[in-house]
Chain A
Amino acid sequence: QKEVEQNSGPLSVPEGAIASLNCTYSDRGSQSFFWYRQYSGKSPELIMFIYSNGDKEDGRFTAQLNKASQYVSLLIRDSQPSDSATYLCAVIQYSGTYKYIFGTGTRLKVLA
């Protein structure tokens, strides 16, 4: 079992729709959770992070964390073609040192 799992996609949504991206993790002790967006050929850029159970909203983006079920999701409202990218989920584990574990990413395509 991979430590951080994401559906590779592509996830296709029409422009203006809500895109829902999911990520599950295996270590119940994971502490912090991040979503990065990566355009083709570019480096990842941080969208948002979440530490506590529940929802966190930032503009069109909402991160949702459920530690009991060990998943974190990212909702993108009013999706735009410019949102088309790969979205990476990252989780921090602590076992003596802090370690970032990245998922392989979900490719999102927003259709105009």
Chain B
Amino acid sequence: DGGITQSPKYLFRKEGQNVTLSCEQNLNHDAMYWYRQDPGQGLRLIYYSQIVNDFQKGDIAEGYSVSREKKESFPLTVTSAQKNPTAFYLCASSTSGSGDTQYFGPGTRLTVL
């Protein structure tokens, strides 16, 4: 059953903590993306990766970090430097980074306590 999985579905973070959001895909896609969605707003790109061991900053990368050690996995770490991390985080993937259709995982809702 091919698709994109994200875990956990809900995550609670205390002030000053780093947390890592998981994203895995078995679609054999080269490109993967992380977006943040706030209520009533569009999707904003945090980081993207077009190939293993390479990634680029998106529009709002400050306070976040990623790694791409395997084709299937693209974890996102929300660091304590991110001052307003409460949001819905969406991972997506596409066949390549050349304008192909993006498909989304189910999302992780992060709340800062």
Question: B105 near A: Cβ within 8 Å?
Answer: yes
Contact A43 B104 (CB under 8 A): yes
Chain A contacts to B: CB under 8 angstroms = 4, 8, 31-32, 34, 36, 42-46, 49, 88, 90, 92, 94, 97-100, 102-105
Cβ 8 A contact of A46, one of B45, B103, B105: B103
* B97/A98 in contact, CB under 8 A: yes
A100 touches B102 (CB 8 A): yes
**On chain B, which size bracket covers the interface?**
10 to 19
How far does the alpha carbon of A90 sit from the alpha carbon of B56 in the complex, in Å? 20
* 15 more CB-based (< 8 A) A-B contacts, given A44-B43, A100-B45: A4-B42, A31-B99, A36-B104, A42-B106, A43-B105, A45-B104, A46-B101, A46-B102, A49-B101, A98-B98, A98-B99, A99-B45, A100-B33, A102-B42, A103-B42
